[in-house]
Structures are given as C-alpha cells and as structure tokens.
Structure 1
Amino acid sequence: MNDNGEELSAGLWDFTPVPEPTDPVEQDALTDEVIDRDLIDPDTGTGLAPMDVATPVPEEYFTHFEDILPRSVLHIWRRFGFEGFGDGLFWITDPIAWAPVVREWLDPVRERLPFTDTFHCLARSAMGNLFLWGENSGHSVEIDPTYGEVIIDQLAIQSVQNPEVHQRQGRTAFSGAADRSVEGPEDNAERALPPQALERLGPINSHQVYGFVLPPALGGPISVDNLRITDAHTYLTLQAQQNDITVSDPVGANWGQVAPIIGTDPGTSPLGQASES
C-alpha cells in the first residue's frame, strides 16, 4: 500500500468475482466456510455465535423463493432457520413476517428511489436496521431507523447481474450485515451502541429491539442511556411514521470519485450500467 492508500482502496472496491463452484454441494460448502469465518468465528469475523432459538424456515418458503433468492441464502436458511446471533445483536429474519414493516418504510419514498423493485427483509440488527434483498437488485437497500434513512447500495446493483456475484451477495447479505449490526450506530464518543446496550440491558429476543426512549428524530440523544428494550414491529412502524424518511445514495452521489477507483466509466451511473448488462 502506498502513502495515499491506493491499494487499500482498490481492494475495498474490487468487484472481480471469486470463482464460484458450479457443483451445488461445493457451493453450499463455500457458503458454510464464509459464514463460519466472517460471522461466527471470533478470530476472523464478528464472533456472533448462534443462540439456538431458531424457528425453522417453512418448507413452502424454499419453493416460493427458489427463483428469487440465490442458493447461498436458501442454504443458510436450511442450516440455521430464522436464528439469532450474539445474544440478539443480529437476526436472520422471516421476510414474510417483516414485509409490513418494510412497506411502512419504503412506501413513502418509492417515488424517490432511483429504481423499482420488490424487496424482502433477510436480516436485521438489534437496533432495528433492516437489510433488504431486491428481486432484481440484490443486496441493495438498508433501512436505518436511527437516522431515518433508506440507504441504497448502487455498487451492489451494478454487480448483481453477474451470477457468481449473485451467490456471493447472498452470503455477504448476512456476514456484512452482521458486521454492521455490531459496529453501529455510534454514540457521540464514537463507541458502538449495540455492545453497550447488550451489556446494560441484556439480550433481546426475535420480537424485540433496543429502541430509543426519545427518538433522535425528536431530539433524543444517540446514547445507551436513551435506550430500552421494546417490541420490534411496533417501534419500527412508529419510527417510520414519525420520521421524515430520507433516501441516502452515498455511491451515486460520489460516482465521479468512486468510478476511477473501481476502473469504470465516470460518465455512466451504476444504475445505467446494470440496466445495460
């Protein structure tokens, strides 16, 4: 890495897919390897152990989502079910059960989204961040209730058309989301709130979140002192109704700077490239 960090930047934005096995058994083995390494292992990943409180995924889900979700996601469902990790810091979610909450957040901003898609909630954090999978855009949208944001990942949209990357996104939909679930949001001292909330308030179950007593949108501090355990669906629905929801597009807003790093045309947006592929 040089003094400007150029090699590091190139690595972070490297979208050259790792060769994906063609054999389904090998694909599942790779999925297990990635999840064990990046999600569960405390030395190489986030260190979030399964809680053994899972609800098995109904068999009809595998039929319904067979052509919607990549094999990697379906394999994780079969292995874990709808499970919690790290004493509730991260959850694999039932997309049907969470669909009403997703609608509460997305319906008010659909006309402001730069693309149209149908979204399913695959995972969530203890703070209520929802990690969504778009049927055409992959692991492309996150809902952040702390800041009242719908966050778009245009680079995910750009790359999802590649079948190999499609499978890889199915894995990072969980491993990457777990990492985000541990690290944010941060308080004013730049300390991650979720571990503080776990230590102060204890674990949560599949129906609960750490919610703000006075939401930040109404002036409440982003502090562990302002958190309590509350019903997840009720809290997130109220947050969607109280917030002036914003649409955040970090990559799209800075495409002129991002494009040269990943070796693509600054004059063509990620959404335009995805539609042409």
Structure 2
Amino acid sequence: MQNDGVDSFYVIAIDAFGKMYIWGKNSGNCLKITSPYCMIFPNFSNDDYLENGEELTLDLFFSTKMSTEIDLKDHNEKPLFERAVEKLGPLENGEIYGFVPALALGGEPKLENLQKVKATEHLAFLADLGEKRVMADIVALSNQLPHNQ
C-alpha cells in the first residue's frame, strides 16, 4: 500500500481512563496515547494491516482487546476499573475516570484520587500540561536485534 508518508488519523477508541487508540487510514493501529501519564506509544509495525486490510484489522483490534489490557493499575499494581465503578458509579456517555490532581501535576494513581470527569475537557486539560513522552516501540526495537534477523 503506497502512502507517500501521508496519512489521516482518527481516534477510534477511548477507554475509561482516557487512553486513546489512534488509527491511521494507511497505517492502521499506529499510536496509543496513555493520557493520564502523558505518554505516547507508537506502533511502527503494520504488517497485519498490510496483510489483512483495513476492515479485518480494525475488527481484530476490537475483538481481541482484553479487559486486563485496557484497565489501569493503581500505585500498588491493582486494577482500578471495577473498584472505580463500585465507588463512583458507571460512566455516562462522554465521561472518563480522571485523577485529581492529575498525575502530571504530582497526583498519585490511587482509587481515592479518581473522579468522574468530562472526557473532552479533561483530555484537553491533560494535553495542555506540557511535554509528552514518546515511548519506544519495544516490539519494533526487538525485531531489529541480531537474534531476530
């Protein structure tokens, strides 16, 4: 698939804590933004996308997501989602669970620091907090190591 380095990007999903999954029209599942931690995870491997095509790859993306993969862990490495629902109630359309104070401002990932917040406003607030950290695509880096060639 020729894309000449040009792509159109879409947010295809936002989880309960504001993690955003970004889809490139030409590149498929290319970015994950973990908003609470201001971290961006690129995914440079689009082999499945090129092999299976856009529709099947997108279907597989949604059908293979596991709850443990999209849950956020607290400062003790315990999953937060079920406890957040129990404490704060289920989310309404357009809401996420956000840390107050924000983790980027020194808040801690604790259940008692979670609140229901409006997704758009909270994500915009987090985006304005400063530098984002672009993390390495460790799968792509591993594939470049001599033992994989």
| Bin for the TM-score computed over the shorter chain | 0.7 to 0.9
Find 2:49's aligned residue among 160, 165, 176: 160
Find 1:230's aligned residue among 101, 117, 132: 117
In the TM superposition, residue 149 of structure 1 has moved relative to its aligned partner by 1.3
For the pair shown, the structure with the greater C-alpha radius of gyration is: 1
Q: Gaps spanning 5+ residues in structure 1: where?
A: 1-114, 266-277
Any conservation in 2 of the 1:119–1:132 contact (CA below 8 Å)? Answer: yes
If the length of structure 2 is used for normalisation, what is the TM-score?
Answer: 0.84
User: Residues of 2 paired with 1:160 and 1:224: CA distance?
Assistant: 37
User: Residues of 2 paired with 1:202 and 1:158: CA distance?
Assistant: 40
Partner AA of 2:7 in structure 1:
D
Instruction: Answer yes or no: is 1:199 the counterpart of 2:86.
Output: yes
Instruction: Answer yes or no: is 1:146 the counterpart of 2:36.
Output: yes
Point out 4+ residue stretches in structure 1 off by more than 6 angstroms. Answer: none
Cα RMSD, aligned residues only: 2.1
Summarize the Cα distance change of 1:206–1:243 in structure 2 as closer, same or farther, 3 Å threshold. Answer: farther
Alignment of 1:119-268 (within 5 A): 119-155=9-45, 157-162=46-51, 164=52, 166-177=54-65, 179=67, 180-181=69-70, 183=71, 185-248=72-135, 249-257=137-145, 260=148, 265=149
- Greater fraction strand: 2
Any conservation in 2 of the 1:123–1:174 contact (CA below 8 Å)? Answer: no
- Greater fraction helix: 1
> How many equivalent pairs are there?
143
Higher relative contact order (CA 8 A, sep 6+): 2
Partner AA of 1:251 in structure 2:
V
* Sequence identity (%): 27
User: Residues of 2 paired with 1:258 and 1:211: CA distance?
Assistant: 42
Any conservation in 1 of the 2:48–2:57 contact (CA below 8 Å)? Answer: no
Partner AA of 2:124 in structure 1:
T
User: Residues of 2 paired with 1:207 and 1:218: CA distance?
Assistant: 23
Any conservation in 2 of the 1:131–1:173 contact (CA below 8 Å)? Answer: no
User: Residues of 2 paired with 1:120 and 1:242: CA distance?
Assistant: 22
Alignment of 1:74-153 (within 5 A): 117-153=7-43
Secondary structure at the aligned position of 1:191 is classed as: coil
If the length of structure 1 is used for normalisation, what is the TM-score?
Answer: 0.47
Summarize the Cα distance change of 1:136–1:190 in structure 2 as closer, same or farther, 3 Å threshold. Answer: same
User: Residues of 2 paired with 1:258 and 1:170: CA distance?
Assistant: 31
